[in-house]
Structure 1
């Protein structure tokens, strides 16, 4: 199953590892698609969630906020693992200070 918006954001669930592959562009116009998918994974699972951002072309602050909020909602020892994450995503998380969010691991 692929969730798609007209703004070229694709969020695809993965089972091995448990998580989501996000491709295209995530921005203010479509970040709710990612938020909904992450919410479902948080509610349904009990393991870490791996977020594959390796083919993500762009993400704005609203998209990053979705990721950080999801990580913060996980009960320990669960984590939201960004693997892979582009250098741009890593930099944005570091600049905002969100790279130290509890429950978030940048691999």
Structure 2
């Protein structure tokens, strides 16, 4: 179910994954499992945030306009999920990027091997959001 709300509220949740706004940073967080069953819905929540105007205090944007996503709670993501994350970056408006924090090392490696880590609108940041 896709729901909109204030900081700390879920943007998307199912029995496998939760996409939520975090306080106080305003970044988004993804916790759980992303696979072929929910990758499209998770991507939809991220795309909606990327396409927002970025002026609200409770959205995932920073002053630079980028959308920051904390993935430290991500336990599993399959190739369909990784592909959808890259496509979210593809859809980023001009001068905005998708910044991934806490990407698990195995997923970072897969993205590097297939060349997705070099995407111009996708940043893999080891620091916390």
TM score, norm. by length of structure 1: 0.87
Supply the distance in 1 between the matched residues of 2:66 and 2:20 (Cα, whole angstroms).
16
- Matched with 1:10 is 18
Listed as ranges, the gaps of 5+ residues in structure 1 are none
Number of residue equivalences: 106
Hey, which bits of structure 1, 4+ residues long, moved more than 3 A?
14-19
2:98 pairs with 1:80: yes
Contact kept, 8 Å, 2:97 with 2:121, in 1: the verdict is yes
Residue 44 (structure 2) aligns with: 36
Please show how residues 48-87 of structure 1 align to structure 2 within 5 Å.
48-87=66-105
Q: Would you tell me which structure has more helix in proportion to its own residues?
A: 1
* Offset at residue 43 of structure 1 (A): 1.4
For residue 89 of structure 1, the aligned residue among 107, 112, 118 is: 107
Q: Which has the larger radius of gyration?
A: 2
CA distance 1:89–1:37, change in 2 (3 Å): same
